[in-house]
Homo-oligomer: A and B are copies of this chain.
Amino acid sequence: MATLKQVAAHADVSVQTVSNALNAPHRLKPDTLRRVTRSIELLNYKPNRNARSLRTSAVELIGYCVPSWPHGQTHLVMDQFLHALCTAAERTGRHILLFTAPTGIDGMPVYDDLHARRLVDGFVLSQTETHDPRHGWLKEQRIPFVSFGRVWKETTQPGPYVDVDGAAGCATAVRHLYETGRRRIAFLSWPRTSGLAEDRLAGWRTTCKELELPTKDLAIRCPEDMIDEGARATAKLLDAGLEAGTPVDGIVAISDILALGALRELTARGLTAGVEVGVTGFDDSPLASVVSPALTSVRQPIDRIATELIALLTDSPAPADPATGGTERLLQPELVIRGSSAPG
Tell me the A residues contacting B by CB distance below 8 Å.
Answer: 1, 44, 46-51, 53-54, 57, 59, 61, 66-69, 71-76, 78-80, 82-83, 86-87, 90, 95-100, 113, 116-119, 226-228, 231, 257, 264, 267-268, 285-287, 289-292
B290 touches A226 (CB 8 A): yes
9 A-B pairs closest in CB distance: A46-B116, A74-B286, A50-B53, A96-B98, A50-B54, A49-B117, A78-B79, A227-B290, A46-B117
Query: Smallest Cβ distance from A131 to chain B, in angstroms?
Result: 24
Q: A interface, by DSSP: helix, strand, loop or mixed?
A: mixed
Known: A83-B66, A97-B95. A118 touches B286 (CB 8 A): no
Query: Smallest Cβ distance from A132 to chain B, in angstroms?
Result: 20
B49 touches A118 (CB 8 A): yes
A116 contacts which chain B residues (CB < 8 A)?
Answer: 1, 44, 46
18 more A-B residue pairs beyond the given contacts A50-B59, A72-B289, A72-B290, with a C-beta to C-beta distance below 8 A? A49-B117, A50-B50, A50-B54, A50-B57, A51-B54, A67-B83, A75-B79, A78-B79, A82-B82, A90-B99, A95-B99, A96-B98, A97-B97, A98-B98, A228-B290, A228-B292, A231-B292, A267-B267
